[in-house]
Amino acid sequence: MPDTDDAAASEDTNAAIWKSDIGVNFWRSRKDDRARRDAERRVLMAQLLPFAGDEPFTFVDLGAGTGAAARTILDHYSAAHAILADFSPQMMAQGETELEPYAGRYSYVEFDLTAAGDWPAGIPARVDAVISSLSVHHLNDERKQSLFAEIHAQLAPGGWYLNYDPVKPPDPVVEEAWLRAGDRRDPEAHHRRHHMNDEEKFRHANHVRYMIPLEPQVGFLRAAGFEGVDVFWKELDFVIYGGRRPLLSATASGGSGGVVPPVAGSA
């Protein structure tokens, strides 16, 4: 395993981890713990979307992994179609197995979130919603900002973006409070934090190296042009935040009154 300092300096660390069997196997080993923690958050993300239960729409799941978040939305919306974007062949292969009950309602595309530029051809020019879970914190600040701008451009007017992610504490006092609460919930957390082996130290360094506090990320969304920006849920270091691309005014769209609604089912 590379030295932690080298990992912090390398722009390719995340790519190497998610393209490796070792990295993916470690992720799988923690799957049950994450599933219990994340299930309610994924349900809330689904509930925040503005669609009727039987309304057709297309959404993109960035950093989709095996598709847990996408499956939750597909369960809530019977006519939804998911485009799952991920960079790990192993994750996508596992996802294809777990998504078998949703055949015909999803597709996978390979997408390296660290690389700015055009999105994969498998993602339509306009989609109705974009979600991301536990992936944006792996991007540096410049890429966070450019990704939010790309998401805004990809959304249909009125389309929503929601992100579920960990954030860094804004100051040491807050960090101490978060750790205190976490240690009381999990009596083994303090010991694990102070007795990591070299591989665990490497993974932790990679996990937190681009993590930043919540406030600047909310600012990045507003700067990208989103409206209705809010922190819809927060518990210690985990948050769900997001916003929508503004609706087009009738004047801007050449109409004579009212607003133009989002384009549902824009595959």
What DSSP designation does 203 have? H
Q: What percent of the chain lies above the pLDDT cut of 90?
A: 70
- Residue 201 has what pLDDT? 79
**Predicted TM-score of the model (pTM):** 0.81
Is residue 21 predicted with pLDDT exceeding 70?
no
Decide if 46 is inside a domain. yes
Residue 30 lies in a domain: yes
Compute the chain's Rg from CA coordinates: 19
Which element (helix H / strand E) includes 15? Answer: helix 13-18
Continuous segment of H or E residues that includes residue 232 = strand 227-235
CA pair distance 61, 122, nearest whole angstrom: 13
Place of tokens 């015909």: 104
Q: Is 266 contained in some domain? A: no
The answer to whether residue 224 is domain-embedded is: yes
Assign 128 to helix, strand or coil: strand
- How far from the centroid of its chain's Cα atoms is residue 13's Cα? 18
The average pLDDT across 83-90 equals 95
Count of structural domains, the chain: 1
d(CA 59, CA 63): 13
Which residues form the domain of 210?
Answer: 4-260
Q: Is the pLDDT of residue 235 over 70?
A: yes
Under 8 Å between Cβ of 131 and 63 = no
Express the helix, strand and coil content of the chain in percent, nearest 5 each.
Answer: 45, 20, 35
> What is the pLDDT, as a whole number, of residue 202?
81
- Residue 265 resides in a domain: no
Q: What is the DSSP letter of 60?
A: E
Asked whether residue 267 is domain-assigned, the answer is no
pLDDT over threshold 90, residue 197: no
Q: Is residue 252 part of a domain?
A: yes
Tokens read off for 263: 């384009």
CATH of the domain at 172: 3.40.50.150
